């Protein structure tokens, strides 16, 4: 039972060498006397998500418990698996599930509000780590529920080519908005404009003055900002928001590896422009998952919403894939394949 474990708590940027691949043993049987709220699964796909970095830091955080290094306990995160054993009447051997699992070949997973049975398999299974899983729900809740977009509104999305961002941009187009995305390479910018239907996109690394860049793309200002990166980008956005604008505070990846977070200086704009900025954690809204599936599945089947994935083959390539999120190495949703069957 191959596993990915954390060696030390991480400070600064995470590196592959912060993790180890070890060969553990596991008895492929539910423990004697275990209640029926635990399943034994074979992990098929694992999801690389920025919040996993927060689990690698010592100290309290919004995602608990953090991963304790040096205990041989594998990393924890979202994934897709096949049930090998279940004591629960609703789950049978062979069923597919997505939700919180551990980074190893086989895991015991808990049946809680973060575990879902997969009912639709006419779409790629790996999608349940992305568009049909946690990131898809994040884009849906953060954009539609928090921002109540209206036709013709001007939307800006940062980390726009990633797991969440690429969907927010496409949802904005479905809502009849004008949408601009920022991303960290020429290839990502081309993807946004030529394949995913963004009206405009730019490479933030080549914009010495983000305020000027935003003024170029939003001469009348921004109605909705979907915040994925924080820091300097948020500061520049605040200068360019319109009256009664909304900011969906989803993530601030530019801050996760800093020991001293960057200051944001333009906050008074929130008052002057009557901006509503709201943070959210997607798992609080998992009761909306059935409604989301009803919305998204037809769009996927009809090719009206596309999803770009970056697939790393093999658990042993998991650490590199995970740390790559923080240098922008991933091109679309970063997935790790543990097994295809
Ligand atoms: P992505 O697939 O977008 O991967 C992360 C991307 O962030 C990288 O590819 C990189 O793209 C960009 N990035 C990395 N470092 C920086 C930096 N210093 N400045 C600007 N951009 C950077 O990740 P997700 O779509 O999964 O997540 C996007 C955001 O959403 C994250 O902040 C995450 O924490 C948050 N999130 C929040 C949830 C919630 O419940 N609130 C749930 C899920 C995600 P590039 O090349 O463009 O720089």
Q: For the chain, which domains are there?
A: 2-130+307-337 (3.90.180.10), 134-283 (3.40.50.720)
126, HSE (Cβ side, Cα atoms, 13 Å): 21
Q: Whose CA is nearest to atom 45 of ligand 1?
A: 184
Q: Using alpha carbons, select from 144, 210, 197 the residue that is nearest to residue 166.
A: 197
Contact present, 4 and 75 (Cβ < 8 Å): yes
Burial (CB < 10 A; 0-12, 13-18, 19+), residue 49, is buried
Determine if ligand 1 sits within 6 Å of the CB of residue 50. Answer: yes
Q: Among the atoms of ligand 1, which is closest to the Cα of residue 249?
A: 41
Determine if ligand 1 sits within 6 Å of the CB of residue 138. Answer: yes
Determine if ligand 1 sits within 6 Å of the CB of residue 99. Answer: no
| Distance between Cα 328 and ligand 1 center (Å) | 9
Task: Kindly report the backbone phi and psi dihedral angles of residue 255, in degrees, each rounded to the nearest multiple of 5, phi listed first.
Answer: -105, -15
Q: What gap in Å lies between CA 40 and CA 83, rounded to an integer?
A: 6
| Distance between Cα 337 and ligand 1 center (Å) | 20
Q: What is the pLDDT of residue 62?
A: 63
Q: What gap in Å lies between CA 295 and CA 140, rounded to an integer?
A: 10
Q: Whose CA is nearest to atom 31 of ligand 1?
A: 251
Which pLDDT tens digits describe the chain residue by residue (341 residues)?
A: 999 999 999 999 999 999 999 998 888 898 887 778 899 999 999 999 999 999 898 876 666 666 778 777 899 999 999 999 999 999 999 999 999 999 999 999 999 888 999 999 999 999 999 999 999 999 999 999 999 999 999 999 999 999 999 999 999 999 999 999 999 999 999 999 999 999 999 999 999 999 999 999 999 999 999 999 999 999 999 999 999 999 999 999 999 999 899 989 999 999 999 999 999 999 999 999 999 999 999 999 999 999 999 999 999 999 999 999 999 999 999 999 999 98
Q: What gap in Å lies between CA 240 and CA 243, rounded to an integer?
A: 10
| Distance between Cα 17 and ligand 1 center (Å) | 22
Q: Using alpha carbons, select from 131, 104, 124, 128 the residue that is nearest to residue 116.
A: 128
**How does strand 200-203 pair with strand 178-183?**
parallel
Q: What gap in Å lies between CA 154 and CA 217, rounded to an integer?
A: 10
| Distance between Cα 121 and ligand 1 center (Å) | 27
Q: What gap in Å lies between CA 127 and CA 123, rounded to an integer?
A: 7
């Amino acid at each position: 039972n191959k596993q990915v474990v954390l060696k030390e708590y991480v400070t600064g940027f995470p590196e592959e060498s912060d993790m180890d691949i070890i060969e553990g043993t596991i008895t492929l049987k539910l423990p004697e006397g275990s209640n029926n709220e635990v399943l034994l699964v074979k992990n098929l796909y694992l999801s690389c998500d920025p919040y996993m970095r927060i689990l690698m830091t010592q100290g309290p955080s919004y995602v608990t418990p953090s991963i304790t290094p040096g205990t041989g306990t594998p990393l924890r995160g979202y994934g897709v698996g096949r049930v090998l054993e279940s004591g629960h009447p609703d789950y049978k051997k062979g069923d597919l599930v997505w939700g919180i699992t551990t980074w190893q070949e086989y895991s015991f997973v808990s049946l809680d509000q973060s575990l879902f049975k997969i009912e639709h398999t006419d779409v790629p299974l790996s999608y349940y780590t992305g568009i049909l899983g946690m990131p898809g729900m994040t884009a849906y809740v953060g954009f539609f529920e928090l921002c109540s977009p209206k036709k013709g509104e001007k939307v800006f999305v940062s980390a726009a080519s990633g797991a969440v961002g690429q969907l927010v941009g496409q949802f904005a187009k479905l809502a009849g908005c004008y949408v601009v995305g920022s991303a960290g390479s020429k290839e990502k910018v081309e993807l946004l404009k030529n394949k995913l239907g963004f009206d405009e996109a730019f490479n933030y690394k080549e914009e010495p003055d983000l305020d000027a860049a935003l003024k170029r793309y939003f001469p009348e200002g921004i109605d909705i900002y979907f915040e994925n990166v924080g820091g300097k980008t948020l500061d520049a956005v605040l200068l360019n928001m319109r009256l009664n604008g909304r900011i969906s505070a989803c993530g601030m990846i530019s801050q996760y590896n800093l020991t001293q977070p960057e200051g944001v200086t333009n906050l008074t704009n929130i008052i002057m422009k009557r901006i509503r900025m709201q943070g959210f954690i997607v798992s609080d809204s998992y009761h909306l998952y059935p409604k989301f599936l009803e919305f998204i599945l037809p769009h996927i089947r009809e090719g009206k919403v596309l999803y770009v994935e970056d697939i790393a083959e093999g658990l042993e390539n998991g650490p590199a894939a995970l740390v790559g999120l923080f240098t922008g190495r991933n091109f679309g949703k970063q997935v790790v394949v543990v097994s295809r069957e």
